[in-house]
């Protein structure tokens, strides 16, 4: 249950202000006709960006007639001011519009994709990025953003894994909180913050076969244990609104799901904020097959608890008749409108509809130098060093002839999808980044070699690439997907390198001989890297790094930044392992007991190529033995465990120390391990630090068969290490 202060509205800034806002809203509500109320529940797309099938014609006429409460894909001070003026000056009550926009990893200064940000495990850095995103969005007239996206996903075929924090509940929940804090600040009503919207509620990341928009069917146990906690975390941090998901969940579309929208969100959690649908999700109830027409789709979604319809236009079309016919209660309409007006009031729009419209601020804020610096820092710390045989990396400073090979070496398409108003022209290519780092005397020889487009298997460019390799004293191979391959509506069945890139890598690596080759990967999902891993000595996962891409990659390649990223999702050996996740069950016949009758594949291992939490560094860390105060505790006790971590290498570095827990035997099966805490340590060469973790009763709780959160006595195993598959294990007992 959320506390009053955190239940979304009116943000709990202070009691007096809350009281005043409520009175303001009630006064307005009492003057509104039914049509005007329904107008507030209608959200339409503006013309500045496209994030779904276009549908609107003349939104200005609707705005003037009071038939629109919110416009999304609307940004830019001039554009939003003009639209706001239409409603203020021409509609009967002049209720300001709420402008929404997807600011997912940056408005104009683009930060790494969220999956990359998650790989930093750096919550303060993630909060700072969200803060800057919000500052830029607010400076461009936006009030509300559709972030954070907290969909847990165990399936890298699904293109939207790029938008979330990966496969783990704890990491995703902590990141969700950091993002909400960053977006909303201490007061979402301040003009440099935005209202947040946690999405997509719920279980969207579990689409069958990783195919976009596909069916989701899962037990309520799994839903509540794994998929819902990040939503609750975001709301508990004060997130202002919730967006419904496109998918069905156990045969009911999320957009009219009574269990999700009424029972859990309102009754159990006590959320008082606004619920908006995803793009045309009300209309899609017809395609799903739970509504025959617009009227039935409207009735089902409104009665389930939806407050605002994004882009279907069905509420304006049918809701009035439904209320008059008694199929939707007018009190339900009042409740929805009250929530929408609360949000507008809390943002200060009812007092001053133009308070976010400041052209001077807009000009100064977007893409400022400090913002670019923050983007570069975050991009560098999101990168994960997957392999570094023979210490290929960091590259020597004195290398003067670099062969930069591959389709991603000399391109500005490094922002990733959901890039907001980011501009490719602002983006630093890898070629520029390396040139900036090495200075004027260095020679960078570029050859694309192969394309990264699906189906383009042309190998004609490989010979040129080999020619370049022969001239160089170091080779950088820049491979990956296209930035729009990990996106909405971008599922892939084959998660390998598209086009002829593997062939290019084979030939370049063979040609290079003793010349060092470092491979940099740009992609928005875990990929199948098995063959590349077998032949390439050094692999750096750079995700989609954003505006400062090239500089940030160069920072890591040349050792100015020691990589510290850790994978937020398992990288499979083959797509045949998918869905794959580290916190799985053991099964009754785990691998390694009987050679034949085991839960295993005949042709590939069970373990992923790179596990959750994995990432190398240019230095090495040593973990001392785990010490714990006692090995038996009572259920209400917190157990302190500690160990010493030492930087045993020659460079300063950051180590992400991860604590996993297993409840060895319980009334329901518990995963073989679950991340319960982590700490990011910064250690100079030779330095040690004693790390202390508190294993609280909370961490030992789980949902039992009755879906009650319980702790049960018995044996627990603690594992502390640098990834999910390493580290000493030690046991304790709850009595």
**Judged by CB, which is closer to ligand BGC: 149, or 495?**
149
Phi, psi for residue 594 in degrees, rounded to 5? -100, 135
Q: Which one, 174 or 199, has the nearer CB to ligand BGC?
A: 199
Q: How far apart (Å, rounded) are the C-alpha atoms in residues 445 and 472? A: 8
Six-digit token string for 598? 């085991």
φ and ψ of 349, to 5 deg: -75, -30
* Beta strands 274-276 and 639-647, pairing class: unpaired
Residue with the shortest CB distance to ligand BGC = 51
Contact 350, 341 (CB under 8 A): yes
d(CA 446, CA 407): 10
Q: Which is nearer to ligand BGC, 254 or 538 (CB)?
A: 254
- How far is 565 from 583, CA to CA, in rounded Å? 20
SS3 letters across 525-557? CCCCCHHHHHHCCEEEECCCCCCCHHHHHHHHH
597: left (phi over 0), alpha (psi -120 to 50) or beta: beta
Active site residue 278: yes
Copy the structure tokens of residue 716. 């627990």
Q: Which is nearer to ligand BGC, 75 or 279 (CB)?
A: 279
Asked whether the beta carbons of 661 and 707 are under 8 A apart, the reply is no
Residue 696: both structure tokens together: 């609280």
End-to-end CA distance of the chain: 28
Catalytic residue among 62, 151, 155, 278: 278
Decide: 629 and 612 in contact? Cβ < 8 Å. Answer: no
Identity of the residue, 140 or 468, whose beta carbon is nearer to ligand BGC in the bound complex:
140
- Rounded least distance, CB 101 to ligand BGC, Å: 8
CB of 50 to ligand BGC, least distance (A): 9
Which residues contribute to the site for ligand BGC (CB under 6 A)? 51-52, 72, 102, 146, 199, 278-279, 488
Distance CA(191)–CA(138), nearest Å, equals: 6
Minimum distance from residue 213 beta carbon to ligand BGC (Å): 9
How far apart are the C-alpha atoms of 245 and 239, rounded to whole Å? 17
| Helix segments in 65-197, DSSP class H | 77-90, 114-120, 123-139, 169-184
Please report how close the Cβ of residue 256 comes to ligand BGC at its closest, in angstroms: 17
Q: Is 698 exposed, middle or buried (0-12, 13-18, 19+ CB in 10 A)?
A: exposed
Instruction: Please tell me the distance from the alpha carbon of residue 338 to that of residue 324, in angstroms, as a whole number.
Output: 20
Closer to ligand BGC by CB, 241 or 619: give it. Answer: 241
**Residue 58 in contact with residue 86, Cβ under 8 Å?**
no
Q: What angle do CA 497, 499, 503 make, to 5 degrees?
A: 80
* Distance (Å) of CA 677 to CA 69, 271, 321, 670: 42, 27, 53, 17
Which residues have CB under 8 Å from 423's CB, separation 6+?
108
Number of H helices and E strands in the chain, helices first, is: 20, 27
* b/e code 538-557 from CB counts within 10 Å (16+ = b): bbbbbbbbbbbbbbbbbbbb
**Beta strands 714-721 and 728-734, pairing class:** antiparallel
Please, what is the minimum distance in Å from the beta carbon of residue 163 to ligand BGC? 7
Nearer to ligand BGC, 12 or 52 (CB): 52
User: Residue 149 or 553: which CB sits closer to ligand BGC?
Assistant: 149
199 vs 507, which CB is nearer to ligand BGC?
A: 199
Nearer to ligand BGC, 72 or 678 (CB): 72
How far is it, in rounded angstroms, from Cα 28 to Cα 22?
A: 10
Q: Among all residues, which ones are annotated catalytic? A: 278
């Amino acid at each position: 249950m959320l506390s009053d202060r955190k239940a979304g509205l009116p943000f709990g800034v202070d009691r007096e202000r809350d009281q005043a806002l409520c009175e303001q809203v009630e006064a307005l509500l009492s003057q509104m006709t039914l049509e005007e109320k329904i107008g507030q529940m209608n959200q339409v797309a503006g013309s500045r960006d496209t994030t779904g099938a276009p549908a609107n014609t003349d939104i200005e006429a609707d705005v003037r007639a009071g038939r629109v409460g919110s416009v999304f894909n609307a940004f830019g001070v001039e554009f939003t001011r003009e639209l706001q003026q239409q409603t203020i000056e021409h509609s009967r009550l002049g209720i300001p519009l709420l402008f929404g926009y997807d600011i997912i990893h940056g408005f104009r200064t683009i930060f790494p994709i969220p999956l990359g940000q998650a790989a930093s495990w750096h919550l303060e850095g993630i909060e700072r990025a969200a803060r800057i995103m919000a500052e830029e969005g607010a400076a461009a007239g936006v009030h509300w953003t559709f972030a954070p996206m907290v969909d847990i996903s165990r399936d890298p075929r699904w293109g939207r894994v790029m938008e979330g924090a990966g496969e783990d509940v704890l990491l995703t929940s902590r990141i969700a909180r950091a993002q909400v804090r960053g977006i909303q600040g201490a007061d979402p009503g301040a003009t440099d913050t935005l209202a947040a919207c946690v999405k997509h509620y719920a279980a969207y990341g579990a689409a069958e076969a990783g195919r976009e928009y596909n069916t989701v069917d899962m037990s309520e146990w799994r839903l509540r244990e794994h998929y819902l906690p990040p939503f609750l975390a975001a709301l508990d941090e004060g997130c202002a609104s919730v967006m419904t998901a496109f998918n069905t969940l156990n045969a009911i579309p999320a957009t009219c799901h009574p269990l999700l929208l009424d029972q859990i969100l309102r009754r159990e959690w006590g959320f008082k904020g606004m619920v908006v649908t995803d793009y045309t999700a009300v209309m899609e109830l017809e395609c799903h097959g739970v509504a025959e027409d617009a009227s039935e789709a409207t009735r089902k979604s409104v009665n389930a608890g939806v407050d605002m319809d994004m882009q279907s236009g069905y509420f304006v079309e049918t809701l009035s008749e439904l209320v008059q016919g008694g199929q939707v209660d007018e009190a339900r309409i009042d409740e929805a409108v009250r929530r929408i007006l609360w949000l507008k009031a809390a943002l200060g729009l009812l007092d001053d509809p133009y308070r976010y419209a400041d052209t001077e601020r807009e000009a100064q804020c977007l893409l400022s130098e400090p913002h670019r610096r923050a983007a570069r820092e975050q991009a560098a710390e999101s990168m994960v060093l997957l392999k570094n045989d023979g210490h290929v990396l960091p590259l020597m400073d004195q290398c003067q002839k670099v062969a930069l090979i591959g389709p991603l070496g000399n391109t500005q398409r490094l922002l990733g999808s959901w890039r907001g108003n980011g501009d490719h022209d602002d983006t630093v290519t890898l070629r520029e980044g390396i040139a900036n780092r090495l200075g004027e005397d260095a020679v960078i020889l570029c050859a694309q070699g192969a394309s990264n487009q699906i189906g383009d298997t042309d190998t004609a460019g490989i010979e040129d690439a080999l020619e370049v390799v022969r001239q160089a004293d170091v080779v950088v191979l820049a491979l990956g997907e296209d930035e729009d391959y990990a996106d909405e509506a971008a599922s892939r069945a084959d998660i390998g390198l598209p086009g002829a890139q593997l062939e290019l890598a084979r030939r370049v690596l063979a040609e290079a001989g003793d010349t060092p080759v470092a491979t940099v990967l740009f992609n928005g999902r875990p990929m199948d890297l098995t063959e590349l891993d077998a032949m390439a000595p050094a692999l750096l996962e750079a995700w989609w790094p954003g505006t400062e891409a090239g500089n940030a990659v160069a920072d890591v390649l040349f050792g100015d930044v020691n990589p510290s990223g850790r994978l937020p999702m398992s990288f499979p050996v083959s797509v045949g392992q998918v869905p794959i996740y580290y916190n799985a069950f053991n099964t009754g016949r785990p691998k390694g007991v009987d050679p034949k009758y085991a839960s295993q594949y005949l042709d590939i291992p069970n373990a992923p190529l790179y596990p959750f939490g994995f990432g190398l560094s240019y230095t090495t860390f040593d973990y001392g033995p785990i010490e714990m105060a006692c090995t038996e505790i009572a259920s209400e006790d917190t157990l302190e465990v500690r160990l010493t971590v030492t930087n045993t290498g020659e460079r300063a570095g950051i180590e992400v120390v991860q604590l996993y827990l297993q409840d060895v035997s319980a009334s329901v099966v518990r995963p073989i391990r679950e991340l319960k805490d982590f700490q990011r340590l910064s250690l100079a060469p030779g330095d040690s630090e004693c790390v202390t973790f508190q294993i609280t009763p909370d961490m030992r709780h789980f949902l039992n068969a009755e879906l009650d959160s319980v702790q049960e006595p018995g044996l627990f195993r603690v594992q502390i290490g640098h990834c999910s598959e390493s580290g000493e294990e030690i046991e304790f007992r709850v009595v």
